[in-house]
């Protein structure tokens, strides 16, 4: 008898094709679609998105997933693929169409009102709609909750980071939070005396040259990807030979594009270096958000803001932006890459304070989903935490709790990924250093060697759940000590 998985492949191929098509449409809309055609292209996008969603309800597909799951338990990649597929099927079986519609509308309306509220700095018009989205998220959390998950939030968290719990995240975030709050004023004090050269404006054409040179430098394969511009930068693992990037140029501050390119390029280096068997078993792209952020943030911060790599970046700035970089002392250039200051906006935060922005969001969303607080309480709690942790007065909700899109459409449980990425990254750095003369390699700019290490020791296992993955890559469970040591060494 034929194995069920062989029969299932026709559905998996179809899903893969639809995913590629949707990604192409989305990339086009974000970067190049003419204004008057955006409506038409968006219609195409929702048409094929519905086709993809409908497959989850196809009885033949469901039957084959259930049978394959029993047959393929010994193949870790297929086990992962089928386990996730099965969880989605089981969840959808519990939900009637009416409830599903009600949730979708709650999220859509809340997201729509968030846009208006943020634009006008008017939280009051948003809160009643957000309340409904939060209630929907609580219902989903209860329905998805598995034995062993102590709280509702555990259930949402494990949607993004399977197997992780509040207890585990608390055990790494709490010591990190206390360390950052205590040390932050000292870093600021130390930087008062440091040399910070002037930041000059550079036009988009010069910065674009720099973008391509940076991508080549970090070993991104330009024959299997491309770079365009969009309002919000992103990267997408569209298909096996197609991992695309976007950026957004700030004429006033060249650092913004430089780090965007290294960050998004870092994401794509992971996408471009998955082994063949991940494609054969359809698990390409099943790395969790925290794993993906580990790699992008490793390239952006651990490599991109390092002393060893700074001369390479400075040389490219001199070549593409202007001669003035030649006269700039290396120390001043390095300081510009590592300027620490309190900032109200998460996306503009420096490497030192970034995790505090995430921890504030984590602490609030956890209490909100678990029912310890309600949406009406959030603005005041937000402002108090920004004062207590970062010493900042929040002047308005637009720059306060309304700044991020995540909460408006019910993406609760996603924020921790960003800070977990920092913690995993420093832990992996420790492992790389055991295997390679890492600092030498960075000084020589031999980025292919770094890419090769990641491909063999890390990307090859990134379909695993985070707990299993970090153990495989570093030989131990998640440990915040490495990130704290890294910050200590770098900033003191």
Q: Which residues bind Zn ion (CB under 5 A)?
A: 296
Nearer to Zn ion, 158 or 296 (CB): 296
> In whole angstroms, how close is the CB of 245 to Zn ion at the nearest point?
11
> In whole angstroms, how close is the CB of 415 to Zn ion at the nearest point?
13
Nearer to Zn ion, 170 or 404 (CB): 404
Q: Are 316 and 217 in contact (CB under 8 A)?
A: yes
What is the maximum span of the chain, computed from C-alpha positions, in angstroms?
75
> In whole angstroms, how close is the CB of 293 to Zn ion at the nearest point?
5
Query: In which element (H, E) is residue 244 found?
Result: strand 242-247
Rounded Cα distance between 492 and 486, Å, is 10
DSSP secondary structure code for residue 229 in this structure: E
How far is C-alpha 129 from the chain's CA centre? 26
Closest-approach residue to Zn ion (CB): 296
DSSP for 152-196 reads: HHHHHHHHHSTT--HHHHHHHHHHHHHHHHHHHHHHHHHHHTS--
Pull the structure tokens for residue 317: 């700035």
Query: SS3 letters for 29-71?
Result: HHHCCCHHHHHHHHHHHHHHHHHHHHHCCCHHHHHHHHHHHHH
Q: Are 258 and 210 in contact (CB under 8 A)?
A: yes
Pull the structure tokens for residue 227: 């770079």
> In whole angstroms, how close is the CB of 263 to Zn ion at the nearest point?
6
> In whole angstroms, how close is the CB of 218 to Zn ion at the nearest point?
15
> In whole angstroms, how close is the CB of 3 to Zn ion at the nearest point?
37
> In whole angstroms, how close is the CB of 234 to Zn ion at the nearest point?
8
> In whole angstroms, how close is the CB of 147 to Zn ion at the nearest point?
33
Pull the structure tokens for residue 338: 């590592």
Pull the structure tokens for residue 456: 């063999």
> In whole angstroms, how close is the CB of 296 to Zn ion at the nearest point?
4
Place of tokens 């890390």: 458
Rounded Cα distance between 236 and 239, Å, is 9
> In whole angstroms, how close is the CB of 215 to Zn ion at the nearest point?
16
Pull the structure tokens for residue 454: 């990641």
Q: Are 228 and 208 in contact (CB under 8 A)?
A: no
Q: Are 365 and 153 in contact (CB under 8 A)?
A: yes
Q: Are 230 and 214 in contact (CB under 8 A)?
A: no
> In whole angstroms, how close is the CB of 120 to Zn ion at the nearest point?
29
Nearer to Zn ion, 138 or 267 (CB): 267
Nearest 10 degrees: Cα torsion 307, 297, 259, 160: -170
Nearer to Zn ion, 155 or 247 (CB): 247
Alpha helices in 193-217 (DSSP H): 204-217
Secondary structure (3-state) at 211: helix
Query: SS3 letters for 273-292?
Result: CCCHHHHHCCCCCCCCHHHH
> In whole angstroms, how close is the CB of 97 to Zn ion at the nearest point?
34
Rounded Cα distance between 265 and 56, Å, is 32
């Amino acid at each position: 008898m034929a194995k069920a998985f062989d029969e299932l492949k026709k559905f998996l191929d179809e899903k893969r094709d639809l995913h590629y098509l949707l990604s192409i449409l989305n990339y086009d809309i974000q970067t190049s679609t003419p204004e008057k055609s955006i409506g038409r292209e968006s219609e195409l996008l929702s048409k094929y998105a519905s086709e993809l969603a409908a497959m989850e309800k196809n009885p033949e597909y469901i039957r084959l997933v259930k049978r394959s799951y029993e047959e393929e338990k010994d193949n870790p990649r297929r086990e992962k693929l089928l386990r996730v597929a099965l969880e989605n099927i089981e969840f959808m079986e519990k939900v009637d169409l009416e409830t599903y519609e009600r949730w979708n509308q709650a999220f859509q309306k809340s997201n729509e009102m968030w846009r208006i509220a943020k634009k006008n700095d008017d939280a009051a018009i948003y809160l009643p709609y957000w309340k409904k989205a939060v209630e929907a998220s609580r219902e989903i959390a209860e329905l998805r909750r598995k034995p062993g998950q102590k709280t509702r939030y555990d259930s949402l968290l494990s949607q993004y980071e399977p197997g992780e719990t509040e207890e585990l995240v608390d055990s790494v975030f709490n010591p990190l939070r206390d360390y950052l709050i205590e040390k932050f004023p000292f870093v600021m004090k130390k930087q008062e005396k440091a040399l910070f050269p002037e930041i000059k404006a550079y036009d988009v054409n010069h910065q674009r040259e720099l973008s391509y040179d940076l991508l080549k430098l970090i070993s991104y394969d330009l024959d299997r990807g491309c770079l365009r511009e969009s309002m919000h930068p992103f990267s997408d693992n569209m298909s096996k030979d197609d991992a695309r990037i976007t950026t957004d140029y700030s004429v006033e501050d060249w650092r913004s594009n430089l780090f965007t390119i290294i960050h998004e390029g870092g994401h794509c280096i992971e996408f471009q270096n998955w082994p063949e068997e991940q494609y054969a078993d359809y698990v390409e792209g099943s790395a969790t958000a925290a794993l993906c952020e580990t790699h992008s943030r490793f390239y952006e911060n651990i490599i991109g803001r390092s002393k060893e790599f700074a001369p390479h970046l400075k040389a490219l700035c001199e070549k593409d932006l202007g001669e003035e970089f030649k006269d700039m002392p290396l120390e001043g250039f390095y300081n510009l890459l590592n300027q620490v200051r309190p900032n109200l906006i998460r996306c503009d935060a420096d490497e030192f304070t970034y995790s505090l922005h995430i921890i504030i969001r984590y602490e609030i969303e956890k209490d909100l989903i678990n029912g310890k607080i309600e949406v009406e309480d959030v603005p005041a709690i937000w402002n108090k935490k920004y004062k207590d942790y970062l010493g900042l007065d929040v002047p308005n909700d637009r720059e306060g709790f309304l700044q991020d899109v995540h909460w408006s459409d019910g993406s609760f449980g996603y924020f921790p990924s960003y800070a977990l990425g920092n913690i995993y990254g420093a832990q992996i750095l420790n492992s790389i250093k055991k295997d390679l003369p890492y600092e030498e390699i960075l000084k020589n700019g031999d980025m292919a060697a770094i890419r090769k290490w990641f491909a063999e020791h890390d990307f090859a296992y990134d379909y695993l759940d985070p707990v299993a993955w970090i153990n495989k890559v570093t030989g131990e469970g998640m440990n915040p000590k490495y990130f704290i040591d890294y910050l200590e060494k770098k900033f003191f």
